[in-house]
Amino acid sequence: MKSWFLVLPLLALAAGPANAQFGFGGLSAEDERKLAAEQHPELVREHGGVYTERQLDEYLVQIGLTMVPHAGEKQEWRFTLLDSPMVNAFATTAGHVYLTRGIFALANTEAEIAGVTGHEMGHITAHHISKKIGKSQTAQIGAGLLGVLGTILGGESIGQMAGQAASAGGALWLQKFSREEETEADTIGLQTISSTGYAAEAMASFMQSLNDYSALEARKSGKPGGEAEFSLLQSHPRTVDRIQQLQRQVARPTANPVWRRDAYLDRIDGIMYGDSPDQGFIKDRVFAHPSLRITFTAPAGFKLMNSSEAVMGSGGNGIAMRFDSDPKKGGGLAPAEYLTRVWAVKTPLQNVERITINGMPAATGRATGQSQSSGQVQLRFVAIQAPGAMYRFLFQAPANQAGRLEPEFIKTANSFRGISAQEANAWKPLRVRVVPVNAGDTEEKFAARMPFGKWNLDEFRVLNGLRTGERIAAGQRVKIVSE
């Protein structure tokens, strides 16, 4: 079994005495280490585990290891590649840096991965998270870092569900940094990658790809202009222009800056794209889990997002849903008893009734809750007893829209069913394929090989970092997505 992370040696780098003692304005160095070590296994689990295919986890560590001597901080640096399709990167404390395979699929050069990594290292070097915890005065080491920072989707806090649904992904860190903190992290990151020899331009290059990706996701969801909802832009509000300006100010000129495009494309050829079989697949409004042999269809207008813990859905404006299962399989209780005695034991339920969904015993009930963003909300609980598991739907709607949405919620619950082995086998993971461009090849030709329908060409251009006016040419290699 592969270790969940590789630990780099403790490096005695140029660090002031304040870093050796307590001087961050937040937690002590020991508390930082304790929090990071405590939460690492949970963060990895929430994000689908470590992605080890093609040894890309070790590749990330190699990139990080190259940068460590130039990071200007005495740390036990740890770099972890998460098996999540989300385009996300974050740092905790004490040298823990996390990137997702979604980041690797979107990037086009090793230098771009170095730029993302360097930025997250900058947040650690500046002790931004530690300072936030210190200012909040709510840090409880035993309770764990995730209880203090970030938006957690793993709990039963139904009052916060609407705000969380648009940013699903397990223990996704959504702690927003200030403009000053982002600038500081960019400055440190740019200095680090340019001192390492990477092209400083790569940080702005990837930010442009991220902006393009986020804009496309917003358009696909019918929310043009809502880019921040669909990527790490919501926690890292940065702009290409600002990074380019910083680059001119702080990056060290390099005679032959390293991009490593071809070597990078060689490494990521075949990387999984989108959902993995272990977490189930989302196609439009349909969720299917081949291993569990289940499927359901979300209400019209919903965007589904998958994590190792749950499937979250957002209909916008405080309309949300969550689907998961009880790890204890319901404790042997019938659905109605489970609903009232276990799942919603602290929630006053109304109109609890026993029902049957596609031959499976089930129960449902309603409740009233409170959301910070939407005020009073109506909640619909549905528990379904399937072979070996108790599956759960939780729907939320603002009180003034609950009547209109109730039939859609019931329809979604009733769509839950088992699937045959043949249906399960039909769901295959998508992968990035690196292919050569020959004379006569066009973007449209490559895009036609992708599975995104009317978005094929847009997906192709974003995936390959093609800007307005740029075209592919013979002799290049490009990325497409296929089974």
The 3 state secondary structure assigned to the chain is CCCCCEECCCCCCCCCHHHHCCCCCCCCHHHHHHHHHHHHHHHHHHCCCECCHHHHHHHHHHHHHHHHHHCCCCCCCEEEEECCCCCCEEECCCCEEEEEHHHHHHCCCHHHHHHHHHHHHHHHHCCHHHHHHHHHCCCCHHHCHHHCCCCCCCCCCHHHHHHHHCCCCCCCCCCCCCHHHHHHHHHHHHHHHHHHCECCHHHHHHHHHHHHHHHHHHHHCCCCCCHHHHCHHHCCCCCHHHHHHHHHHHCCCCCCCECCHHHHHHHHCCCEECCCCCCCEEECCEEEECCCCEEEECCCCCEEEECCCCEEEEEECCEEEEEEEECCHHHHCCHHHHHHHHHCCCCCCEEEEEEEECCEEEEEEEEEEEECCCEEEEEEEEEEEECCEEEEEEEEEECCCHHHHHHHHHHHHHCCEECCHHHHHCCCCEEEEEEECCCCCCHHHHHCCCCCHHHHHHHHHHHCCCCCCCCCCCCCEEEEEEC
220's CB contacts (< 8 A; 6+ apart) are: 455
Note the pLDDT of residue 405. Answer: 94
What tokens does 70 get? Answer: 């130039």
One digit per residue, the tens of pLDDT, for the chain of length 483 reads 222 223 222 222 223 222 323 344 567 888 888 888 888 998 898 888 999 999 999 999 999 999 999 997 778 899 999 999 989 999 988 899 999 999 999 999 999 999 999 999 999 998 888 777 766 544 333 333 333 222 222 233 333 433 333 333 333 334 577 888 888 998 999 999 999 999 999 999 998 999 899 889 888 877 655 444 444 455 555 677 878 888 888 888 778 999 999 999 999 999 999 988 888 999 889 999 999 999 999 999 898 888 778 999 989 888 999 999 997 888 889 999 999 999 998 888 999 999 999 999 999 999 988 776 668 899 999 999 998 899 999 999 999 988 999 999 999 999 999 999 999 998 989 999 999 999 999 999 999 999 999 999 999 999 999 998 899 999 999 999 998
What tokens does 28 get? Answer: 């002590």
With 0-12 CB in 10 A as exposed, 13-18 as middle and 19+ as buried, what is 78? buried
pTM: 0.77
**Domain residue spans in the chain?**
6-273, 281-425, 430-482
Q: Which residues of 416-449 are buried (b: 16+ CB within 10 A; e: fewer)?
A: bbebeeeebeebeebbbbbbebeeebebeebbee
**Phi-psi category of residue 79: left, alpha or beta, with phi > 0 → left and psi -120 to 50 → alpha:** beta
Contact 277, 292 (CB under 8 A): no
**Rounded CA separation 462/263 (Å):** 20
β-bridge mates for residue 370, sequence order: 376
**Phi-psi category of residue 361: left, alpha or beta, with phi > 0 → left and psi -120 to 50 → alpha:** beta
Q: Which residues of 176-204 are buried (b: 16+ CB within 10 A; e: fewer)?
A: ebeeebbbbbbbbbbbbbbbbbbbbbbbb
Q: In what order do the strands lie in the sheet with 389-398?
A: 303-306, 311-316, 319-326, 389-398, 375-386, 360-371, 350-357
CATH of domain 281-425: 3.40.1000.10
**Rounded CA separation 445/449 (Å):** 7
Contact 481, 430 (CB under 8 A): yes
CA angle, 192 as apex, 117 and 46 as ends, to 5°? 15
The torsion angles phi and psi of 449, rounded to 5 degrees, stand at -90, 0
Note the pLDDT of residue 237. Answer: 54
> CA nearest 358: which of 396, 407, 415?
415
Half-sphere exposure of 8 (CA within 13 A, CB side): 24
What tokens does 366 get? Answer: 């309603």
Q: Which CATH class is domain 430-482?
A: alpha beta
